Amino acid sequence: MDQPNPAVDPQNPGPVTESSSWQSLSILSKDSSRNSAGEGSYGRSGSKPVRYGSRGAESEGYSSSQKEITDEEARFIHINDPQQTNNKFEFARNSIKTSKYSVLSFLPRNLFEQFHRVAYIYFLVIAILNQLPQLAVFGRGASIMPLAFVLLVTAIKDAYEDWRRHRSDRIENNRFASVMVNGKFQQKRWKDIQVGEILRVYSNETLPCDMVLLSTSDPTGVAYIQTLNLDGESNLKTRYAKQETLSKMIEKEVIIGQIKCERPNRNIYGFLGNMVIDGKRVSLGPSNIVLRGCEIKNTAWVIGVAVYTGRETKVMLNSSGAPSKRSRLETHMNREIFYLSAFLVALCTIVSTCSGVWLHRHRDELDYIPYFRKLQFSYGEPDGDYNYSHLGWQVFFIFLMSVIVFQVMIPISLYISMELVRLGQAYFMIRDRRMYDETSNSRFQCRALNINEDLGQIKYVFSDKTGTLTENKMEFQCASIVGVDYSGGRAALPEENGYAVQVDGQVLRPKMTVKADPELQRLVKSRKTTEEGKHAHDFFLALAACNTIVPLVVDTSDPSVKLVDYQGESPDEQALVYAAATYGFMLIERTSGYIVIDVQGERQRFEVLGMHEFDSDRKRMSVIVGCPDKTMKVFVKGADNSMFSAIDRSLNLDLIGATEKHLHTYSSLGLRTLVVAMRELSGLEFERWHLAYEKASNALNRRARLLRAVACDVENNLHILGASGIEDKLQEGVPEAIESMRQARIKVWVLTGDKQETAISIGYACKLLTNDMNQIIINGNSMQSCKKSLEEGKAMLSSGGKKVPLALIIDGTSLVYILDNELEQQLFELATKCTVVLCCRVAPLQKAGIVALIKKRTEDMTLAIGDGANDVSMIQMADVGIGISGQEGRQAVMSSDFAMGQFRFLVPLLLVHGHWNYQRMGYMILYNFYRNAVFVLVLFWYVLYTAYTLSTAINEWSSVLYSIIYTSVPTIVVGILDKDLGRKTLMKYPELYGPGQREECYNQRLFWVTMVDTLWQSAAVFYVPFLAYRHSTVDGSSIGDLWTISVVILVNIHLAMDVIRWSWITHSAIWGSILATCICVIIIDAIPDLPGYWAIFHIAKNGVFWCCLIASLVAALVPRFVVKVFSQYLSPSDTQIAREAEKFGNTREFMRAEVVMNPIQDPPQEMPR
């Protein structure tokens, strides 16, 4: 299809029935609290604690767009006068900088950031100590090389990433825009644009800065923008220029005016200000500003004045990225590093103490002992100390030298290995075709590389409903009008072509067809001949008028037929407008001042006199229209709990009761419900509203609150018209995904803002709730009632008899009284013992409060998944946050750690990739500890037989290269590629997810078992050659080469014994590392300037060398092999059983067998506080 165009030419709307008494009065009230769901994460005060359960939770997170603004806090902009605008305060220029470094700052800043890791500081101190003459053990260059290598690799990576950012910034800043200079529009680079300048942007161009609209190509001042680059929403949105500036000829008239607005803030949905133009003061709101990064669509050009530029634009203020999180495994790893540090100190203490004892025993011989001789003989007569300090200092120096020699006990290469492994794991997750969503053409996104392994340890999943479990593609299903239920459309088939109208010889049809109830269609076609027909007329007129939908026409293959595409920010509104069109109330045109609706073939023009958009406090929206019959009506639609408080109950209680009954029925079917009402306004009431609205909209202080009060004042004493039921279908595979997670012992909690009945119905549909569950429902309206309900729920837990699964269902009102007080502990105790928890009518911060309820009291891993801005707080609170790339923009994605297109992808992500990532990373960390500890202990054993002098047989360059070249590649390759189980097995048996929840692959017991094994292996590798060569004349360098090769072969065979899935890459890495070690040892020994020249050639030609090599490896590995075989035979784990079934192909027997999986402790034990 071609690019969509406005539905009807504004200059020629065609024959329209309208009242000549109406002037083109446009009072479009865009309430600045447009979408509080997305504002909970903006501008939260650090000094004010967040109360998750408070009634004001939603408003506490407002940015400065919603707060009072004083002259001191305001920004003053002189239109078309950048010099005067920037005279008092020079505002930011329009150049942006996303790069972190400059040429001069790169080295110091990058080093400063890298040394935030304590281990790097440790190795820096070691390298500095080795530079001191008294402590020099290794060569000065060799001691610095490991740290320098790690720092260099990281610096190169950071430099490359920053170079790409610099290139992107340069391209962005040097783009051209049309800017008014000396009364004419001229081309100017983006980076040179200043606040106060007037710009003109053409169709399909990107806005260079945040601008207040002055004029557009549309005579009514409307502009269509696409905010895809800002929030991911592809639907077009409308913005408006003020009538006071719309009529001005910008290029021919000198515009003199001033804008007073709020200072820059992150809220992309709010803007507060006013403009003084020609001595008249007009208000400015979110509908009058267009933001940097948006694109102009279906509008030839727009002209505006720059108010925020460069780093002060809203898109730049929101580009901070997701919060940094640390994985549970890395946190536990720090504990083991502390143990290794203590072990290192113990080794150094033993060496220094023994050295002190040895020096004391041989104190009479120290004058002539070569290493410790005290006397200086260089000048003939012995004179003064040569290489010896006082005994105490000598012991202290020996301790520090021991730290230098044994420094590899703390594996510096582990950090960079973990980063590379996570990068590789992320690559395979992103490339997984089973997590590719064809409908949205989106791949899996890995936005946080440092928590991949946490995906394998999740115990709680907190999920939003709309757009996460459901598609967020709304379809009108049924309506209740005048107390009569019209649900016949649910079983009907949609009409092939649907409703259509003739406009200028062309046929216009809605782009989507809706199933229509035949009886309701007959009622609507009867016009207003009956009371029921009049109510039906007003009902669908309200659906067509009370919205912010923009109708656009798109071409079809038939030139005489056009489709009307309704673009809007709310899928609910789109569904309602399509439904109205199906029943003959087709929205044709929308401008800032009026709308045109085809009512049963008759085009009618309605003046838009005012509009109060939806906000989370009122939970409704309203529009005031001037009708063709010269009456004024206010149409209101909203949530039932807010609408019934505004409806005049004295008129028809039976009608209200019947509507409430139908609402309950719709909710039980899982439908989303809205109540529609109206009332007529007298001229006096309209004038009163008009004056109050003008006063509120021109106020800079408390504007949002004043506008809300004006809206509530006009939205009262309403006449109920009916209610609607909209279906939001479940996403594909949701029931199966929830069942798989339940089998994996992952608890799924659903947190939604929908009605309780709707949530329960969806719960049954997705198999979250089952018929065998007992439901505990808490709907309290006071602390006492909530306390009583919690006690009754706990009583059900303690009741005897057969254990029945329980489901806790609680609403947001009850959470107000439970969270952040003494009842919170009772809720925790009850909720963790229930199989399912369903929270309804919850605010965004209450969602975060529920996650915090578990996170603060247990050590269980939590995951939150959602698709909307109202899920951001929950996503950031959880250990792992996942955003769904859905219909509600990208706020959730931009705040998440991972992002994907469908809820069902959670199963392969957790059960497959999460399992693999945790198993690989846990093993890799333990292996790195083992690998380095073996090497250190071999050095330690040698020190015991050299009078504790810390002379080493192993060449210093081999010590340096051990962690960098000899043994680093195999562990990285195995950490990326190894798979303990296949994908099919992991998906078929979700219980195999349990090892991660029970921390079976990395725990303290495994650490200490590994260290005991390390102690034995190091002793075997050292003592076999030591005893064989004890009485020989072989020198230290030669036997050092033997130990070097033995240790490298040992640790690689140790790794090979644990590899499950071999590939040519794994073979190359493991056996190639052994070969590379032998080559490096030969090269080092072939350099005459290095100690141990030609040593390997002397010792390797003797058969004893090869016998010792084989014997030491066998002695070291046989005990491990025997223990491993017997443990797997006598007490196999779930993973080992499944692996054997895979290996020998006994899948049928495995499927028939009742494999008893190790239980997960449920409920979780509370953390000590």
Residue 437 is classified by DSSP as B
Residues contacting residue 410 through CB under 8 Å, at least 6 positions apart? 119, 122, 123, 337, 340, 341, 344, 932
Please, is 875 exposed, middle or buried when counting C-beta atoms within 10 Å of its C-beta (0-12, 13-18, 19+)?
A: buried
Tokens of 1105: 């060398």
Q: In what order do the strands lie in the sheet with 5-6?
A: 5-6, 550-555, 561-567, 506-510, 501-503
**CA–CA separation, 1050 vs 932, rounded Å?**
12
| Strand partners of residue 611 | 623
Check 210, 464, 517, 754 and give the catalytic one.
464
State the Cα–Cα distance between residues 66 and 58, nearest whole angstrom.
12
Q: Can you tell me which residue has the tokens 């949105």?
A: 237
Longest CA span, the chain: 131
Contacts of 925 (CB under 8 A, 6+ apart): 329, 333, 336, 414, 418, 1002
User: Following DSSP, what letter does each residue of 760-829 receive, concatenated?
Assistant: HHHHHHTTSS-TTPEEEEE--SSHHHHHHHHHHHHHHHH--SS---EEEEEEHHHHHHHTTSTHHHHHHH
CB atoms within 10 A of CB 887: 22
Nearest to 937 by CA among 1006, 1007, 1017, 1008: 1017
Query: Cα dihedral sign for 779, 785, 787, 789?
Result: negative
Query: Residue 13: left (phi > 0), alpha (psi -120 to 50), or beta?
Result: alpha
Q: Where are the beta strands (DSSP E) in 594-718?
A: 594-599, 602-612, 620-626, 632-638, 671-681
| Chain centre distance of CA 222 | 35
Q: Report the candidate in 1059, 859, 914 with the shortest Cα–Cα distance to residue 332.
A: 859
Q: Is-contact 228 440, C-beta < 8 A?
A: no
Residue 1103, Cβ density class (10 Å: 0-12 exposed, 13-18 middle, ≥19 buried):
exposed
- Residue 1116, classed as helix, strand or coil, is helix
Question: Could you give the C-alpha distances from 625 to 19, 164, 724, in angstroms and in order?
Answer: 12, 53, 21
- Catalytic residue list contains 615: no
Phi and psi angles of residue 71, each rounded to the nearest 5 degrees, phi first: -60, -35
Residue pair 201/296 in contact by the 8 Å Cβ criterion: yes
| Cα–Cα nearest to 468, from 904, 162, 874 | 904
Pinpoint the alpha helices (H) of 500-638.
518-525, 531-545, 571-582
SS3 1128: helix
Report the distance separating Cα 621 and Cα 644, nearest Å.
Answer: 14
Which are the catalytic amino acids? Answer: 464
